Structure 1
Amino acid sequence: MSDETRDDTGEPKGQRPGPARPGLSDVAARAGVGIATVDRVLNERGNVSPATARKVIEAARDLGLPRILPRPYRRGVRIGVVMARRETPFAERVSAAFLRVGATLDRSVIIQRSFVDETRPREVAEHLASTKADALIIYGQEQLAIIDAVRALTARGIPVVTMISDIPTSPRLAYVGIDHYSAGRTAAFFMARMARRSGPVLVLCHSYDYRAHAERVSGFTDGLRDHAPEMTILDVIEGHDRQDESEALVLDRIGGAPEEIVGIYNTGGANRAVDKAIGQVAWQQRPVFIGHELSIHTARMLSTGVMTLAIDQNPEEQARRAVDVLLRRFGHSDTPPEANDVAFTIFGPENIPPAEESTETGLFLPGKPGEGSTSVP
């Protein structure tokens, strides 16, 4: 394309709707280079060092001219993904999501997954600090050791994106995930509408050390107070997603309740524990059971009527958007940024989608939202 067909922003003439954008001279001033250098970089004319090209691209992006880094100036990017225990169905599903995303990228971008014991925050922090990656995507507890590790990584120029559960008290680059408070309120709304009578409700969560679970519990508590003030929360149990421990705790609270409970809300992954506990009680009226995430286990519970609803946080979409945030950060993408808030999806017995299954891990990869499901932004 000739110079005559481009304007001062480096874009084709006649294709610049809306208010005027900064020009080449603005980019040059910000990058500390000449206008001719900016022109050579943005229009891919060559003869510019990779370091200078990156300065120009960053300046253009800072001024609101999103640009993909021209291929000759791109460097390889290694994105580390640090996840919780691999043996859980949800962790397997997240892992599979990143495999799928990685298969769509060119060879200059490498996604490297690692699994840690999230119950040991200091070890997790040491794992983060030892990374050789250019950027990290993490799912972790909001513990001081992890916050400090993210702060140190950021100071080293290694951007960190949180997903699934945010750590806003750290200097992370971005959070990609659902609104967990809204998910909790949504669970409360359906609990209030679907319980056959007023009475006590039991809440099971993973751990308050995860902001996601704290926000779900908070949303459920506020939502139940607003939608069904006559219903009470019997107890909030931290089961740490350990199936046997959670089952015993749930059975103990059910047996000690002053009257038969009318509902159970599980914010975490110990849905099989709730299933087993429910199966050991001679109910006059079976409680409403609302949980999170779609797996072969929750799909079975939904189809048999043990579970009433499952609120799925769409980790596949979270993985894609988290990677996109970092691709834009490193100049490998010029696609318009998407909202980092991912819609959650509500599944019931009538809209369980077809899926790829693994009976060994409980892996369940549901169809896209919209295929018989309800998405809530």
Structure 2
Amino acid sequence: MTKPTYSGIATLAKVGTATVERVLNGRGGVRPQTAARVIAAARALDWPGRLPETHRGLLLVEVIIVGPKATFFRRLAAAFRRIGASLDSSVQVQVTFFDPADAISVADHIRRPARPRAALIIASTYDPQIRPALAEQLASGLPIVEIVTPVLDGADFVGIDNYAVGRSAGYMLSRMCQASGTILAVCHSGAYQVHRDRVRGFSDFLAEKGRPDLNFSYAIFGLDDPGVMRRRMEAALSQWPDVVGVYSVGGQIRRSSTRCRARKPMCSMLDTN
């Protein structure tokens, strides 16, 4: 009897020889249905090698970003897509954006994804509806990595100490300011724990070790909307004409710098985005 070959198995399974090689060597990157045909054909032709009992197919790693499509999150998504493009074809990285105001949809997607996932990476706000959904998936054995903001106890977290970032910002800005007066903070909103931690660290440092001639008591929420930021910055500058420093908590500095520089040429600005 003729020894079976990749070519013979490919003909019987109606696939290419490269597909046969991937399946028989367990390299992945082949749809489960196609892999099943290849294994069945190899078995029918008495392939002498060991046949894989199962075929893993594609490994889907989903990245869920709960946030606006602002600069930071767009850059984050682009970075993950670049990483995905560099991986083996058996691993697919899928980036999914969600509106932070729609926590119900986020929780539902975490529990019932459109496709089975091998792992989950998530950047999310701390929400009472999202957290239980993540906990259920973690308990089921799904590997979960949180980024930007830690939400769930027990999950791996990749990020920085944002409270320390805020304290460092307080230290630097208090030394940058060239005059006495008011300091403002600007950020997206109070929805993100990362921003709250930075503002808290900033405020704590200024209260504990800052200069007595600098006053910080107000944070502007720009909501990543240029119009909102402009109006709120103008209102703040009218209320506190002695502004001498602005701390941008999360990349809002471009939208506030022009107004501040025009009104206060000596205003110091610091961005920790």
TM-score above 0.5: yes
What's the counterpart of residue 81 of structure 1?
A: 63
Q: Per-residue displacement from partner, 1:164-208 (whole Å, max 9, x unpaired)?
A: 1221xx245211011111111111111111100221101112233
Query: Percent identity between the aligned chains?
Result: 30
When residues 83 and 264 of structure 1 are mapped into structure 2, their CA distance, relative to the original with a 3 A threshold, is same
When residues 286 and 126 of structure 1 are mapped into structure 2, their CA distance, relative to the original with a 3 A threshold, is farther
What's the counterpart of residue 101 of structure 1?
A: 83
Q: Per-residue displacement from partner, 1:120-139 (whole Å, max 9, x unpaired)?
A: 22222222222232221111
1:140 and 2:124 are equivalent in the alignment? yes
Say whether the 8 Å CA contact 1:241–1:268 is kept in structure 2.
no
Partner of 1:201: helix, strand, or coil? Answer: strand
Say whether the 8 Å CA contact 2:187–2:221 is kept in structure 1.
yes
Partner of 1:192: helix, strand, or coil? Answer: helix
Once residues 78 and 211 of structure 2 are traced to their aligned partners in structure 1, the CA distance between those partners, rounded to angstroms, is 39
What's the counterpart of residue 282 of structure 1?
A: 263
How is 1:1-377 mapped onto 2 (pairs within 5 angstroms)? 75=56, 76-84=58-66, 87-131=69-113, 132-167=116-151, 170-225=152-207, 226-257=209-240, 259-278=241-260, 281-283=262-264, 285-293=265-273
What's the counterpart of residue 54 of structure 1?
A: none
Once residues 220 and 60 of structure 2 are traced to their aligned partners in structure 1, the CA distance between those partners, rounded to angstroms, is 39
Say whether the 8 Å CA contact 1:164–1:178 is kept in structure 2.
yes
Equivalent position amino acid for 2:268 in 1: V
When residues 104 and 260 of structure 1 are mapped into structure 2, their CA distance, relative to the original with a 3 A threshold, is same
Q: Per-residue displacement from partner, 1:34-72 (whole Å, max 9, x unpaired)?
A: xxxxxxxxxxxxxxxxxxxxxxxxxxxxxxxxxxxxxx8
When residues 229 and 160 of structure 1 are mapped into structure 2, their CA distance, relative to the original with a 3 A threshold, is farther
Structure 2 residue ranges without an equivalent (≥5): 1-51
Once residues 59 and 212 of structure 2 are traced to their aligned partners in structure 1, the CA distance between those partners, rounded to angstroms, is 52
Q: Per-residue displacement from partner, 1:307-329 (whole Å, max 9, x unpaired)?
A: xxxxxxxxxxxxxxxxxxxxxxx
Deviation at 1:292, TM superposition (A): 3.1
Partner of 1:162: helix, strand, or coil? Answer: strand
Q: Per-residue displacement from partner, 1:218-265 (whole Å, max 9, x unpaired)?
A: 1111122213243111312233332221221121111111x4111011
When residues 137 and 286 of structure 1 are mapped into structure 2, their CA distance, relative to the original with a 3 A threshold, is same
Partner of 2:263: helix, strand, or coil? Answer: coil
Cα-Cα RMSD: 2.2
Say whether the 8 Å CA contact 2:257–2:269 is kept in structure 1.
no
Once residues 220 and 55 of structure 2 are traced to their aligned partners in structure 1, the CA distance between those partners, rounded to angstroms, is 49
Tell me the TM-score normalised to structure 1 length.
Answer: 0.53
Say whether the 8 Å CA contact 2:62–2:96 is kept in structure 1.
yes
Deviation at 1:100, TM superposition (A): 2.0
Structure 1 residue ranges without an equivalent (≥5): 1-71, 294-377
Once residues 252 and 55 of structure 2 are traced to their aligned partners in structure 1, the CA distance between those partners, rounded to angstroms, is 44
When residues 155 and 263 of structure 1 are mapped into structure 2, their CA distance, relative to the original with a 3 A threshold, is same
Say whether the 8 Å CA contact 1:150–1:172 is kept in structure 2.
no
Partner of 1:182: helix, strand, or coil? Answer: helix
Say whether the 8 Å CA contact 2:67–2:73 is kept in structure 1.
yes
Say whether the 8 Å CA contact 1:241–1:269 is kept in structure 2.
no
Say whether the 8 Å CA contact 2:169–2:272 is kept in structure 1.
no
Partner of 2:217: helix, strand, or coil? Answer: strand
Once residues 172 and 244 of structure 1 are traced to their aligned partners in structure 2, the CA distance between those partners, rounded to angstroms, is 40
Deviation at 1:291, TM superposition (A): 1.5
When residues 201 and 195 of structure 1 are mapped into structure 2, their CA distance, relative to the original with a 3 A threshold, is same
Q: Per-residue displacement from partner, 1:256-289 (whole Å, max 9, x unpaired)?
A: 11x411101111233332134325x433x43111
Once residues 123 and 94 of structure 2 are traced to their aligned partners in structure 1, the CA distance between those partners, rounded to angstroms, is 14
Say whether the 8 Å CA contact 1:82–1:139 is kept in structure 2.
yes
Say whether the 8 Å CA contact 2:183–2:214 is kept in structure 1.
yes
Deviation at 1:159, TM superposition (A): 2.6
Once residues 195 and 114 of structure 1 are traced to their aligned partners in structure 2, the CA distance between those partners, rounded to angstroms, is 41
Once residues 182 and 74 of structure 1 are traced to their aligned partners in structure 2, the CA distance between those partners, rounded to angstroms, is 47
Once residues 270 and 120 of structure 1 are traced to their aligned partners in structure 2, the CA distance between those partners, rounded to angstroms, is 23
Bigger radius of gyration among the two:
2
